[in-house]
């Protein structure tokens, strides 16, 4: 039990540009197992390449987040 109602993973402004790829790899690791609480992933704007890359990673994983923000 994580003691939380939900988990939000931020790929947007909390991740420096030079660490975006590492953050995406961590998303893949996190979603290897189904989280026990609802999970959201905050992505970069889809009007730029970082947001598109975020969506591609989310498409590739087998277990999906409950929400994409």
Tell me which residue of 19, 20, 26 sits closest to 7, measured CA to CA: 26
For the segment 39-64, what is each residue's pLDDT rounded down to a tens digit?
999 999 999 999 999 999 999 999 99
State the pTM of this model: 0.89
Name every residue whose Cβ is closer than 8 Å to that of residue 63 and which is 6 or more positions away in sequence.
31, 32, 33, 34
For the segment 31-41, what is each residue's pLDDT rounded down to a tens digit?
998 888 999 99
| pLDDT surpassing 70 at residue 25 | yes
């Amino acid at each position: 039990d994580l003691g939380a109602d939900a988990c939000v993973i931020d790929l947007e402004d909390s991740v420096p540009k030079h660490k975006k790829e590492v953050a995406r790899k961590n998303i893949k690791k996190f979603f290897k197992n189904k989280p026990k609480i609802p999970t959201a992933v905050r992505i970069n704007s889809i009007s730029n390449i970082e947001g598109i890359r975020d969506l591609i990673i989310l498409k590739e994983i087998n277990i999906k987040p409950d929400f994409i923000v």
